[in-house]
Structure 1
């Protein structure tokens, strides 16, 4: 009897149901102390020299003053330290982890290890061997490794659900979104301060990233920001920020607009302000595509052609000597002409093709994009009428002059110098605000609900009385007009318009493939999603030009990883969250399940 009792005790102790055990067998207290000590050691190592030679970019030879990649390690190590301390229940730090305490520590420890390890490897490659590493690098690397070991020894945040089993499931559990919790209520003034501080921090982060001059620092920046963003999401802070922004929507929109307006004043290099203006063009066109793909569910693979129609129209009526028409419209008329021309082409192309669905519609729109590019290539006076100058395009497009304000020259404002690129950035920001307002009003209207109903189930929407063809044509025309609107600015910003700018895929952005990826990457049907996705897809290749030969390979790999770990996109709407995360359906009883006809009924009302 005693033997059977001992056997029962042994079996219950080693039961496979105890799947919440950590990967590394350490007591939780010791694991947290290990992670705390490791992050402190990694942080301390950043104040020592990491290499002896100034040939490595960033000057990592100074003791007592972190620089370059050291600052990134210092930042993520400090975040690891703070999030680890929040697990002790220290008053004032618990607000950091409303969605869980241990998974964010693991991700931040990986950020510290990845940033430090990459820096050590880059120093060895650039300078020629590990011998070029000074003690500071070894101290930070050892501390990052210790912090990672301690972080993975912590138990997983189960949130009342079945704990993960196996290494792969545990890693997936660390990366996926946390279960919603009850956040601590803040006073109204404090919530407004939080929103303002977050947008100010976002401006500083974007300005820092776009101002990076050498690729080693930018790669380290991507590693640190990627893991830190995932950690903040896992901690529940991003969900909390989304709730605050929804509660104070007007404050959030004003804060975002003010932060964007301040961006040109943070730049001293005109090249980076130019990248910012081009990012806004890419983002605005992606938001226009979001009307077609994200709201109406129409797969358009030739959308960049509408951008080209608007750009060519604005360029041809700009008064340039290379134009076939001897006219010069004021800018407001040129912008409206570009939007109107794209809208007309959208109706002409959509009317005979939008009765198709799915893959067939995608093939037809892809064909239209190629027809547009070949047509403007052949309108060269040899194989067709001399309208677009063929492969030479419309060149020498003059700078804009709006109410006596010449965007092509530098202007001084409150002690700051606004360059040509900064002027166009502010103009494109105004266009972006207009497109955002149009998208938001459309999405929240009866027509927007009808688009969503068609996207979810066109047959059911038609059965509820929705004229699917008419509404799909409206979405197609609106998306085309928004693209043409942005194209009118692109023509003047780039001085010229050529056919190779408007391809389905290639190394030049924006193109149809990258625009579609920006919508999917950011989150279909949302406003912030395509803006963030477009910014990432334009900024990363622009800063990593030396990897241009591997751009499409890395792009494909990134999409595979994204679809594996976050198929709803970086910023997902409520319906997508319910569709891809079934466990949240039980915690959100007021939300209709995916495929529900509730939205169809409302749209048909």
Structure 2
């Protein structure tokens, strides 16, 4: 690596005291983990995908070996030149601590699933001891105080592109593996492993380098991301269960991206956004070939998509025109009321309390699958001999929709309109004083966000095969807003990550069904305390929440200069 900007070196007097025992202790810990993972962990072979065979590691044992190998690599780098630009100690602390927690959970799972800790074989204890040794060694090692500005660390273009491709391939494999785990304990332990590796790499600075490489090769990163998303159904062996979750994630993500315009860019708190998704879904249902559809006009689906999106945008204008003159808590209350009005209106349009458009609480079932240009989305297809079921077909359609929504969002964010929205979010009075059409841009944000949600709703109706008022409760709007806050307001990757987390985890952790809202609330409280800007925050949002960070301010200024070029 070249052109690396360094900080003022630490003087020998101020340098942290080295402990010679730390490095060999860490090496011994990593070796213990590898050896222990090759031995049997459990006497009972019927739990946790069989960890009872010596010298034949199971899935969890392989994950422990991966963490140990990464730790060994960091230990070796700590002795070499690369240790001067990677914060190897910070990474080792995260890996060692995470691996120790991982092993404690493994032993707890064995104890719960069988008849107690008596069923834990020596391999499990050896691996736990190794993880503890690795964690202790890492905390004894001195931290690197000369962590470089990774935006200046440039490598050959082929190396950066290869790193992006490797990261995307790892994401594809990890997603396929995690979704294939039906056991709740296995899924939780897999999440702990992913978090351990991710935090460890971030703490070293390696992921920061990859992030800057992605910024320098945005087209490659975008193409690789969509290639991974496109290939995902081919890894599921025709599993409708996993693909059903994936399609729900895409619908949720596309809808959240529309809300991101309203909340993330314009700063308008909308608590009734799910109504726009519902309006698109109801338009598609009433114009479908269902025997319960209440409108005789049956246009092609491409026309239905536009009609549903325009109806949602019209509702956005209707609710926005009289209410956008208020702001803050008052706007949130008004939009919350609109969401509930929409749901009750769908209940009452049953032919008794009003015209029969929605069949009231019964909804509109029996919505047939889409058929576009002779392609039946409800049929099973076998491209390249790989089975792709009904949900896989809708997944590809929703992937195209999500790509279009992301394109619209990114273009608007980079445009004059997007800058106007950001100015309104930062200081509405100052923006108005500078000549920004505040009311017009607010109304446009509502209309565009509602239009995108309506698009997603028209496809969701056919994918679900039915619509009913119960699908569009306030809680769904709250989850959409939470996805944006959790992922990072105003960002694309953050919203996609937040939508994935909030849709995937409840599906895979159904045994927590009674405590899901409790866990959800605890997660948000912790996020607001330790990372209020979100998991994947923009530099501007980070600076808003960490104004005292001078280094971050310099990085933001540098990034804005680069974008201006």
* Equivalent runs, 1:23-422 vs 2, <5 Å: 27-89=18-80, 94=82, 98-159=85-146, 180-181=149-150, 184-268=153-237, 269-422=239-392
CA contact under 8 A between 2:89 and 2:142: conserved in structure 1? Answer: yes
* Counterpart among 438, 448, 462 of residue 418 in structure 2: 448
Cα 1:271/1:280, change in 2 over 3 Å: same
Cα 1:534/1:20, change in 2 over 3 Å: farther
CA contact under 8 A between 1:319 and 1:326: conserved in structure 2? Answer: no
C-alpha displacement at 1:267, in angstroms?
0.6
C-alpha displacement at 1:542, in angstroms?
0.5
Given the alignment of the two structures, is residue 457 of structure 1 paired with residue 461 of structure 2, yes or no? no
Query: Is the partner of 1:87 in helix, strand or coil?
Result: helix
Cα 1:183/1:591, change in 2 over 3 Å: closer
Given the alignment of the two structures, is residue 470 of structure 1 paired with residue 435 of structure 2, yes or no? no
Deviation readout 1:189-231 (Å, 9 max, x if unpaired): 2222221121111111111111211111100011111232222
Query: Is the partner of 2:202 in helix, strand or coil?
Result: helix
CA contact under 8 A between 2:257 and 2:492: conserved in structure 1? Answer: yes
1:98, 1:299 → 2: CA distance?
Answer: 42
Cα 1:179/1:185, change in 2 over 3 Å: closer
Report the equivalent of 1:528.
Answer: 493
C-alpha displacement at 1:148, in angstroms?
1.2
1:216, 1:21 → 2: CA distance?
Answer: 41
1:200, 1:55 → 2: CA distance?
Answer: 31
Report the equivalent of 1:164.
Answer: none
2:378, 2:427 → 1: CA distance?
Answer: 49
CA contact under 8 A between 1:180 and 1:587: conserved in structure 2? Answer: no
Q: Greater shift after overlay, 377-386 or 200-209?
A: 377-386
Cα 1:19/1:289, change in 2 over 3 Å: farther
Answer 1 or 2: which has greater helix percent: 2
Query: Is the partner of 1:385 in helix, strand or coil?
Result: coil
CA contact under 8 A between 1:120 and 1:137: conserved in structure 2? Answer: yes
* Equivalent runs, 1:521-560 vs 2, <5 Å: 521-560=486-525
CA contact under 8 A between 2:150 and 2:212: conserved in structure 1? Answer: no
Report the equivalent of 1:508.
Answer: none
C-alpha displacement at 1:451, in angstroms?
0.5
Query: Is the partner of 1:536 in helix, strand or coil?
Result: helix
1:287, 1:533 → 2: CA distance?
Answer: 11
Query: Is the partner of 1:450 in helix, strand or coil?
Result: helix
Query: Is the partner of 2:387 in helix, strand or coil?
Result: strand
C-alpha displacement at 1:587, in angstroms?
5.9
1:191, 1:228 → 2: CA distance?
Answer: 20
CA contact under 8 A between 1:578 and 1:585: conserved in structure 2? Answer: no
Alignment length (residue pairs)? 549
C-alpha displacement at 1:155, in angstroms?
2.3
1:554, 1:78 → 2: CA distance?
Answer: 33
Unaligned 5+ residue runs, structure 1? Answer: 1-17, 160-177, 506-510
Report the equivalent of 1:572.
Answer: 537
C-alpha displacement at 1:55, in angstroms?
2.4
CA contact under 8 A between 2:371 and 2:377: conserved in structure 1? Answer: yes
1:237, 1:304 → 2: CA distance?
Answer: 39
Q: CA RMSD in A?
A: 2.2
CA contact under 8 A between 2:547 and 2:553: conserved in structure 1? Answer: no
C-alpha displacement at 1:583, in angstroms?
5.9
Deviation readout 1:499-558 (Å, 9 max, x if unpaired): 1111111xxxxx111111111111111111100110011111110011010001111111
CA contact under 8 A between 2:282 and 2:467: conserved in structure 1? Answer: yes
Cα 1:182/1:103, change in 2 over 3 Å: same
C-alpha displacement at 1:565, in angstroms?
2.0
Q: Greater shift after overlay, 121-130 or 582-591?
A: 582-591
Given the alignment of the two structures, is residue 489 of structure 1 paired with residue 480 of structure 2, yes or no? no
C-alpha displacement at 1:63, in angstroms?
1.2
Cα 1:98/1:502, change in 2 over 3 Å: farther
C-alpha displacement at 1:427, in angstroms?
0.4
* Counterpart among 471, 477, 481 of residue 512 in structure 1: 477
Unaligned 5+ residue runs, structure 2? Answer: 1-12
